[in-house]
């Protein structure tokens, strides 16, 4: 016991010494960083710059670690010339300050980690902003999906902004909760397993002038490339007006402007992807034209309002003839046309139109048709003059019950129609008898397909004679089912 106590005591002393050593190293590191910050601030004051340095969450990064966060790749000139130019709107750019943060038009800054995924973060932040502005929804979308599923194998080593836009346009984007950010490459693309929350119908490139960017900003934030300024990891506020002419290497989101910043020479308000413990809650100001911001590429997107299923969240197994209700919402309050189809992933020929060219609704009820499949799904399309958005449910099983459905007496016809459904092709025996049990007629049929079937009884018995009008019973028997129902024979 004494030896055990001595071992425990020795271990505790060693643990405390390690903590003390770690704290002393941390204090020494902070002392070195603080000295650097003080030197930078003295330089800022001496040169008359309009920003300040401080210890941020990025101040401890080495030069190589900082480079790992730079992943903007310019697109080749031959590709850029094929991207349409932004068309100026009649919006005025006279306001001295325009800031989407003040109009609930942005989401919080996020941290890309030790990965050059700034290109994915800038474009995803742009789409999140447009969803909030035009759809009134606050969404946290998946940057990892952009890295895993883009067509060019871009990832932590870097990527282009159009690579993300092409994904937004062709497929759309899923939630962060669906494909969580890992900050690394080599993961499979799993986007098909999750619902799409948003997409765009196009993107355009801007001319590198303050007027053009301001004009486009009034339609929503603009993604752009820039050159990392000196001491950017230590930025703690103010307007960056220290320049760099290196090639653009970082992607950010412009969310507004302030003509009074930088001593009245004006600045862009930008969102970075280094977390909220850097800069001004993750945002920064940079003087117009400095660090080549906007010089290489700037893009505006055309947001396509989403269609979102609100119920049911999942279908499970459904049966032919059952009533089903499906509801949805769309960001576009002026939706022109609604198209709803029931389709079959296992049989491309099956197509059941539920609603077509319908307007002004957001839910509908109907009965499932008599069809059997394990791959049924609903497809809802909303069409406006500017876009067509389609959303589909997850596949579900549609089955058919063995059941005697009803009979249809007709006083104007000698026939009574008897309806029934079967789940599998089988031999079916129909028996009509009196309430006292006397057999009137027996019919044996080989129904070769599952689904709904009918039999027209002409009112005769097995001998071909007509029976008297009134109530009778009908029994349907298959290999695995037997059902009886009252029927009416009128004549």
Q: Which positions are catalytic?
A: 118, 250, 272
3-class DSSP string for the chain: CHHHHHHHHHHHHHHHHHHHHHHHHHHHHHHHHHHHHHHHHHHHHHHCCEEEECCCCCCCCCHHHHHCCCCECCCCHHHHCCCCECCCCCCCCCCCEEEHHHHCCCCCCCECCCCCCHHHHHHHHHHHHHHHHHHCCCCCECHHHHHHHCCCCCECCEECHHHHHHHHHHCCECECCCCCCCCCCCCCCCHHHCCCCEEEEEEEECCCCHHHHHHHHCCCCEEEEECCCCCHHHEEEEEECCCCCCCCCEEEEEEEEECCHHHHCCEEEEECCECCCCCECCEEEEECCHHHCCCCCEEEEEEECCEEEEECCCCCEEECCCEEEEEEEECCCCCCEEEEEEEECCCCCCEEEEEEEECCCCEEEEECCCCCEEEEEEEEEEECCCCEEEEECCCEEEECCCEEEEEECCCCCCCEEEEEEECCCEEEEEEEECCCCCEEEEEEEEECCCEEEEEEECCECCCCCECCCEEEEEEEECCCCEEEEEEEECC
């Amino acid at each position: 016991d004494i030896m055990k106590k001595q071992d425990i005591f020795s271990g505790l002393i060693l643990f405390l010494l390690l903590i003390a050593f770690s704290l002393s190293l941390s204090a020494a590191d902070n002392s070195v960083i603080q000295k650097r910050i003080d030197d930078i601030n003295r330089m800022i004051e001496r040169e008359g710059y309009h920003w300040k340095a401080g210890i941020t969450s990025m101040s401890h990064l080495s030069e190589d670690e900082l480079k790992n966060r730079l992943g903007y790749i310019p697109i080749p000139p031959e590709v850029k010339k094929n991207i349409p130019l932004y068309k100026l709107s009649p919006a005025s750019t006279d306001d001295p300050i325009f800031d989407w943060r003040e109009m609930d038009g942005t989401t919080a800054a996020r941290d890309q980690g030790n990965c050059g995924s700034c290109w994915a973060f800038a474009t995803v932040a742009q789409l999140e902003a447009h969803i909030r502005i035009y759809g009134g929804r606050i969404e946290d979308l998946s940057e990892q999906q952009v890295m895993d599923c883009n067509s060019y194998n871009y990832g932590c080593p870097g990527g282009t902004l159009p690579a993300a836009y092409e994904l937004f346009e062709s497929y759309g984007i899923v939630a962060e909760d669906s494909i969580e950010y890992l900050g690394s490459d080599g993961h499979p693309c799993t986007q098909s397993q999750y619902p799409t929350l948003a997409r765009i119908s196009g993107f355009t490139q801007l001319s590198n002038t303050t007027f053009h960017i301001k004009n486009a900003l009034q339609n929503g934030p603009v993604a752009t490339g820039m050159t990392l300024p000196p001491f950017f990891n230590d930025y703690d506020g103010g307007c960056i007006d220290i320049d760099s002419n290196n090639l653009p290497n970082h992607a950010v989101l412009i969310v507004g402007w302030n003509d009074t910043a930088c001593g009245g020479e004006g600045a862009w308000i930008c969102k970075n992807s280094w977390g909220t413990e850097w800069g001004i809650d993750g945002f920064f100001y940079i003087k117009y034209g400095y660090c080549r911001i906007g010089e290489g590429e700037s893009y505006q997107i055309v947001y396509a309002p989403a269609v979102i299923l609100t119920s049911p969240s999942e279908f499970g197994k459904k049966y032919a003839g059952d009533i089903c209700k499906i509801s949805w919402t769309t960001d576009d309050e002026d939706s022109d046309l609604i198209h709803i189809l029931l389709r079959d992933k296992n049989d491309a020929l099956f197509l059941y139109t539920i609603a077509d060219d319908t307007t002004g609704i957001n839910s509908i009820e109907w009965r499932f048709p008599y069809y059997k499949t394990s791959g049924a799904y609903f497809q809802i399309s909303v069409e406006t003059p500017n876009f067509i958005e389609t959303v589909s449910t997850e596949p579900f099983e549609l089955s058919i019950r063995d059941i005697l459905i009803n009979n249809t007496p007709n006083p104007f016809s000698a026939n009574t129609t008897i309806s029934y459904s079967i789940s599998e092709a089988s031999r079916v025996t129909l028996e009509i008898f009196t309430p006292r049990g006397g057999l009137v007629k027996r019919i044996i049929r080989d129904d070769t397909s599952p689904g709904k079937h009918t039999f027209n009884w002409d009112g005769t018995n097995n001998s071909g004679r007509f029976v008297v009008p009134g109530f009778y019973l009908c029994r349907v028997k298959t290999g695995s089912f037997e059902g009886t129902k009252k029927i009416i024979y009128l004549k």
